[in-house]
Amino acid sequence: MLLFVFGLITLSVLGTKGDKDALLYRVDISLPPVEGRDETADILSIKKTVKGLTGVDVLFSFKELGNPKIVLVLDVEKACSWPQLTGYLSSQGYVFSVEALYHCSDYAQELGVNIPKDMWATSFGDEELIIDVNTFPVKELSTLEYNNQMKWKFERDMDILNSGQKGACFRTLAGFPVQLMYFAPVNSSGIDAIEEFVHAAGNLVSEITQIQNLEYYTGQC
């Protein structure tokens, strides 16, 4: 996944007016190792600060399991809302990166597959969760073959959602290769099913990261 230095991309990303969801972003926040740092206190402070931002709707917030890293999906109403977040993160010395997103339902619609947005989850409970980032290399595929591959992927997603599996999905705004980012609750059998699906899909690279819902994070065992 491409990681961008926030200060270099703010103007170009926030200036993308053509896409209807151009103000959706993934923000990764890492806490570099510092002597005496209270990791739990820092994460709880970020959690509280982000919830209090004006003009920024927190769609999802997670913490990577075993790592001092937070993953946010934000809906930003106006570009001028950003300094609230960036000023705070910079003042604390955190390392952060930003990636523009749009909803998978919008991309699927472009391909002729109708996945209503209300089929995707808008929240998760205190359960085992993963981020599954799927990258689809172009290789020797024609445009038609590539689009058909993506259509098949979303048709498969429909089957999974109709079976009762919860999940949320976003596409990175970059053009190609297409990269889809899924959030979903999963157990060991679920991970096995994902791996089986990845092998069946063939032209797909999957990167799975275990996460927990930041809403329920307390730092206590």
Cis peptide before 185 (omega within 30 of 0): no
* pLDDT of 122: 94
| 6-101 and 105-215 have identical folds | yes
- Give the mean model confidence (pLDDT) for residues 24-39: 89
Give the start-end residues of each E strand in the chain: 24-30, 56-64, 69-76, 95-103, 129-136, 168-172, 178-185, 205-213
Q: How confident is the model at residue 201 (pLDDT cuts 50, 70, 90)?
A: low
The per-residue pLDDT for range 130-160, each reduced to its tens digit, is: 999 999 988 888 889 889 989 988 998 888 8
Report whether CATH 3.30.70.1060 matches the domain 105-215: yes
% of the chain with per-residue pLDDT over 90: 47
Domain ranges of the chain: 6-101, 105-215
Residue type, 64: E
pTM beyond 0.85: no
Can you name the CATH fold of 6-101?
A: Alpha-Beta Plaits (3.30.70)
